[in-house]
A = this chain, B = another copy of it.
Amino acid sequence: MIPKNHPRYQSLLSRDKIVNAYKSGILADAGMIAHGRGEAFDYLIGEKTTNTAEKTIETAAAALILAKDPVISVNGNTAALVPEHVVNLAGILNAKLEINLFYRTPERVKAVWNVLKDHGAEKILGTENEDFKHVKGLNGPRSNVSPEGIYNADVVLVPLEDGDRTEALVNAGKFVIAIDLNPLSRTSKTASLTIVDNIIRTMPCLIDKVNKLKNKDPEELNKLLDNFDNIDNLKESLKVMLNSIENFE
């Protein structure tokens, strides 16, 4: 029981969710360690959504609204931390959900599927029964994507994705939206748009932005995308981290 007034309540709650997900088979070992890496970078941005991240989330909302065939990719950490928001966002956008695990086993796929179903997901792609297509530039089971899902998608939201896969999806011509607390990672640099923020804050904010923008003129939404440069965006987040390091003492 973490007291709600604990200064790091949200962070400790996330940690609890991650540990429980690990114990229930949703997360691989690496997923638990990756969570710790995220904690360190979150610490450097002050454990809050920065102004620059909020603007980026708004641009991501525009891209998702404009998409013809948006897909939300779900890995173990995402299912552990924000299953309710993922299902909610898919509903609002009429986007598809696709399970996509780095350390893929039938058991883990089933565990993630259960979590999404428990939170009201209707259709879930990326399960074991599909006739997967391969993404060029990737090997092994990680190259598999659903023919109905990521394979045909124009915009893919990949929270907490690895560099190889991000690169392959970008090379396949997709607009890839990553959520990654490390602005220096290959994923961050390779994605079309990188939200440098904690997924537990990003998802509710993204839903809010989608709701606010969804009835806007597409031209206005396109303008947000035209004015966006991902490297400049990453540099803004790095500045925030630099400041938090420089303000030491």
Query: A residues engaging B (CB < 8 A)?
Result: 15, 18-19, 22, 29-30, 32-41, 43-44, 182-184, 231, 234-235, 238, 241-242, 244-246, 248-249
Contacts and interface: CB of A to CB of B under 8 A. Distances in A.
B248 A238 contact: yes
Given A43-B184, A184-B248, A248-B234, A32 B32 contact: yes
Contact of A184 (B22, B29, B41, B245): B245
Contacts of A234: 248
A39 to B, nearest CB: 5
B36 A40 contact: yes
Query: Interface majority SS on A: helix, strand, loop or mixed?
Result: helix
Contacts of A30: 15
Contact of A15 (B19, B33, B39, B246): B33
Contacts of A37: 36-37, 39-40, 43
Contacts of A38: 36, 40
B241 A245 contact: yes
Contacts of A248: 183-184, 234-235, 238
